[in-house]
Amino acid sequence: MTRDVPVQPLHTDAFQAYGHVLNLGASDTRAINAGTSQRLDLTGSLTLHAEGGEPVLAVFRARAQAPEGPWHLLERHRLGSQTFVPLAGARCVVLVARGRDGPDLATLAAFRVAGDQGITLHPGTWHHPLLALDDGDFLVIERAGREVDCDVVQLDTPVRLRLD
């Protein structure tokens, strides 16, 4: 038996309980560097310093996966936000849930992240590790610290994603 979850397009309103949507294709840029560059400030706050944590930049080199699954686990980072930004338009699916002591499966949702979007997950948001739809690199901004900040749970009922 599996739990089917439909994959929906990523929109700010639908995703706000889990984190922030980063719209890399937004047109509200401003000229900088004597007009040689355009600056796009992305919305959403980062939480990276809890309990002595420091920001870390990483590149995840992802291989495309069949997104349907089944998927058997979720993880969360209680002390810090986690941001994923595609470096060359790679797409992904983000599977998320809320919950304090464990994932609340009633809040389970899946979103298709386009190649001109990124996401920042709120601290404590349960999520599946990166599910890339395309081979590609993702810039990841997250908290690093002495204490490992990654809780992992195995799901009693595997999740299958429905790409309607």
Quick check: 164 pLDDT over 80? no
Name the average pLDDT for the chain.
94
The pair of three-digit structure tokens given for residue 90, joined into one six-digit string: 């790679």
Omega prior to 70 cis, within 30 of 0: yes
pLDDT surpasses 90 at 40: no
pLDDT in tens, 42-67: 877 888 899 999 999 999 999 999 98
Write down all domains in the chain, each with its CATH number in brackets: 3-162 (2.60.120.480)
Question: At residue 15, does pLDDT exceed 90?
Answer: yes
Question: Is the pLDDT assigned to residue 12 strictly greater than 80?
Answer: yes
